Structure 1
């Protein structure tokens, strides 16, 4: 399973939806994921990919990690995974 599919699966689990029902242009809010669900998603992503997400749960807007849409989260995770592989 690649980064895209794993991130979609994690978000789908938090949203209690099927992965096929998740679109990259959707926001987490549109999927019914609240702030607690966001934090749980970030933890699940960190665990799944063995990465550290630069995310401030107290102020998500101040983070360098773009959580604006599902697609942006996928891109951010993909970048972190690639950076870790190069390190």
Structure 2
């Protein structure tokens, strides 16, 4: 059985936080999880590789990015949108 987008994103975030996926709360912020800016960039790269998408992320100004990093749930939703857009365009 394949993992859902949510399960995969949470696994990526958990890896960066050095936590088990079940310990990652959807409401948690990256700061709550102890993920610094380098960890965030590594998570974005892992998301791009895992889902074969391009994340519209500005590492220099993450708050100004189109990729919502407010909390785990918002990151999951953003990735789900990217995956859906990719499916719609067939690329």
Normalization by structure 2: what TM-score?
Answer: 0.95
Corresponding residue of 1:60: 62
Any unmatched runs of 5+ in structure 1?
none
CA distance in 1, matches of 2:10, 2:22: 9
For 1:63 and 1:11, the matched residues in 2 are separated by 18
Distance 1:20 1:64 in 2: 27
Runs of 4+ in structure 1 off by over 2 angstroms are none
CA RMSD of aligned residues (A): 0.4
Look up the match of 2:9: 7
TM-score of the pair, normalised by structure 1: 0.99
CA distance in 2, matches of 1:13, 1:68: 18
